[in-house]
Structure 1
């Protein structure tokens, strides 16, 4: 099995303090994440690092320049006690076909939603993604994303680190593997408390974030 999941679009590193986490990431890796943009109305913003090809890391946290949103911020960033690799996304060749196929194989990734964010230069990125309250609670089963006509974030001149591996632990790996297979992807799973981690090659050597 490849150490990098098939169809990987991005990894999500969520934090209650975006500025502090970006600074710590830069300290550990020697690479400063680029501002990604603002999720208008949702109360969050992000910074990005390319991981090679069409994959990237999203560091997401509360946006202090936005008012309190009407609903909970994405990924419940307000409830985190520190940075955490929460989940990941895959980008299949055809999102709708992949959703239909997954349901036929016994896993429902949830309804498809439209989202958008403003980039630092004022542009608007639009995408569609799956998700619902029925998502697997471990965060180890990815959501699906389709960037449509928008330029993919990994092609926007981001600083790049080479992704070595993505690994995870879960109490029952045999329960999660069929769900990953239904989505056409896979993940190196070990037995243990739920956790997701990744390792990148950096100017400071290999650095691991989250659970290895």
Structure 2
């Protein structure tokens, strides 16, 4: 039961701001995604491979506020915070077994939908990011083929993800526990530094790096 990278998550104050952040750096436009009724959010997407994609996600202003914290730390963001590469999601075929090994970090397994898609995903009770986004959220899709296969191929592919954390051994222990395999590289940070990510993406305009944020 291995896990691998499923998608990257860009959180933003709104979808247009998040998409502009990505397009400015990668030189490609994103596709419409859809709404997540349980979370009061919506997204736009960019294919990064046959089973990998990038997601820009934001609070849906037309949706009813959920009776629980939204996922990906969206309720903990300042109102006008810039778009940022917040975290990543790892795919598994046995989410309940895998998540048991790190439940205190990733949270409970919950059902989710977007349009005709359905899946199970881990969400901490307070909606926070696992280890401030350094550890992955876990996902198991409820159908085949992978939804990335339905996205337009714009010539973008994820090459590597760099994770910077004050305790990389703790992140490594989680990746070992979930039997993760993929191009994720851990780097140490000085004490009290904020964890962050860099994604290296092949684009039609060469290799581009998606930074943590841009003010």
- Seen in structure 2, the aligned counterparts of structure 1 residues 6 and 75 have a Cα distance that, compared at 3 Å, is closer
CA offset at residue 56 of structure 1?
Answer: 0.9
Aligned residues: 200
Structure 1 residue 166 corresponds to structure 2 residue 161: yes
CA offset at residue 184 of structure 1?
Answer: 1.0
Question: Residue 16 of structure 1: which of 10, 13, 16 is its match?
Answer: 13
CA offset at residue 173 of structure 1?
Answer: 1.2
CA offset at residue 42 of structure 1?
Answer: 2.5
Name the CA distance, whole Å, in 2 between partners of 1:6 and 1:96: 13
Structure 1 residue 199 corresponds to structure 2 residue 200: yes
- Seen in structure 2, the aligned counterparts of structure 1 residues 76 and 130 have a Cα distance that, compared at 3 Å, is closer
CA offset at residue 147 of structure 1?
Answer: 0.8
Name the CA distance, whole Å, in 2 between partners of 1:21 and 1:210: 13
2:114 aligns with 117
The unaligned stretches of length 5 or more in structure 2 are none
How high is the TM-score relative to the length of structure 1?
Answer: 0.82
Structure 1 residue 87 corresponds to structure 2 residue 87: yes
Question: Residue 175 of structure 2: which of 166, 172, 180 is its match?
Answer: 180
Conserved? CA contact 1:11–1:85, under 8 Å: yes
How high is the TM-score relative to the length of structure 2?
Answer: 0.81
Name the CA distance, whole Å, in 1 between partners of 2:8 and 2:161: 9
The unaligned stretches of length 5 or more in structure 1 are 119-123
Name the CA distance, whole Å, in 2 between partners of 1:67 and 1:96: 29
Secondary structure, aligned partner of 1:116 = strand
Residue correspondence of structure 1 range 24-173 to structure 2 within 5 A: 24-78=21-75, 79-80=77-78, 81-100=81-100, 102=101, 109-118=106-115, 124-133=116-125, 136-149=130-143, 151-160=145-154, 161-173=156-168
Conserved? CA contact 2:39–2:71, under 8 Å: yes
Conserved? CA contact 2:160–2:201, under 8 Å: yes
Aligned-residue CA RMSD (Å): 2.6
Secondary structure, aligned partner of 1:176 = helix
Name the CA distance, whole Å, in 2 between partners of 1:107 and 1:69: 23
Conserved? CA contact 2:40–2:65, under 8 Å: yes
